[in-house]
Amino acid sequence: MNGIDGYCKNADKSSRKYDVTFCLFYYKVIKKLLGLSDEVYFSYLNRYFKIFQEYFNEKCKENYKVPGDNTEFIKLLKDSLYYRVTYTYKNSAFLSSAVAFHFRNALKVDPKCLRRFSKRKLIKICSLGGGPTSDIVAIVTVLECIARKKGIMLDFRITVIDFDKRWKNTCITVLSCLEQFKNATWKINFIQTNLSPVFFYSPETCKAIQEAHIVTMVMLISHLPSKKLREGKMVKYISSLLQPQAMLFFLDWGQTDLIIACGGNLGEIDDFQLVYEELCDCHTLDVKAVEKLFCLYKHHFDDFRSNLSLNVFARVWIKNSLSSVKSMYPVSKFQRFQTNFEKFKPVESYLNKDSFRSWENAFIKQQETNGLEPNFIKKKINYHIQKRNYMLSNFKKKTKFLNEFRDELLHEYDSSKEVNDLESTKKYEEVWNKYWIQKMRFSCLKGYIYKFVVSSLLELSK
């Protein structure tokens, strides 16, 4: 796999390690969920998966393009254990990778938070809407890895709050595959409740949120009806329940309506300090992990359809302590829009000449071994060269536009801060929206390049 090795030479080694770990972990989870490793069960899952792809989109939401009233059939599909297994196969490795990536970056920005976790020894995590527990798997994995390096033993108590009780057994099965909960499922609590009607939470739900040191909202508010999303009450109410110095971790699809419902353009929540933010970035699973994923499942599925890259939005807040309502973690607006923790950097990886040459040499050797004609191989290589040049040109243009809008946004922010009138604020909002659009386009281009990279590299795995 010289092509992949060449591509990976500039990658973040620790991120790569987590991604491969998550792929192996969820493969083990799926085998456990099915009860047996018998190939018969995978053949049933493969059959279910083909139906699933017709009635659900890549985000595992109902595909409304399918004609007719499919309500009852969708319900039947969701009632099946295979639905939760399919969701795990399609999303869990990717979501755990995204959560781990942004959680680690938040800890880098705020080392005080990591020190507090290390001192506590017992960490309580409350996952809201987290039936699949991808967020908990990621956070526990990251914290345990850091703790081991420091010679510290951590203990965890987990509460998962989800409206769908069908996730309860799956949730416990997934977490029991982590060493921390292998023989200690009593550390896991599942509360079935609907979080959308705020002010009506049960005492048990409120207590779980109030006592947690980390509260996560991963892929939660994107499931809210549009009206409730616009009201923005859920995030405000939940945040009011958190204890001082608790972390609120948010990750969802990179959409403006979700950003507005989650602290607005400035990411402001009363009594909280925004310590980390990624407005919109194409998160990607490392290609070494993709290779591993492909090898694990290629004998089970006719079609490889696990999610490998999607645009996500992430924010992390810390609740101010009672002793100080001032900014304990000053993050300037300049830092917000200048700091990029982008994981997939095409120019430094695949679009880099050395990396491309590495792939080209590996591809030529493979095709010659397969007995293909030199002219055919050359034609294929030329196609890749043209594609690479086109993508590189586009990427440089998008980067230039993004930087220009970022500079304009910073200028408008400074102006609105000095004047603080309605017109100035409106101008800032307009520029912020333009900046987000550029960020989204930039992320989409990254996703396009990444998909081409993955398809090219997987040619070497066949």
Q: Tell me the pTM.
A: 0.88
Q: Write down the pLDDT at residue 8.
A: 38
pLDDT greater than 70 at residue 169: yes
- Asked if the model's pLDDT at residue 22 lies above 70, the reply is yes
pLDDT band at 330 (very low <50, low <70, confident <90, very high): very low
> What gap in Å lies between CA 177 and CA 84, rounded to an integer?
16
Give CA–CA dist 112/197, Å, rounded. 34
277 pLDDT higher than 80: yes
Share of the chain above pLDDT 90, in %: 34
Tell me the pLDDT tens digit for each residue of 405-460.
777 777 776 666 655 666 667 777 787 888 888 888 888 888 888 888 888 777 76
The pLDDT value recorded for residue 329 is 46
Does residue 11 have a pLDDT over 50? Answer: no
pLDDT at 460: 64
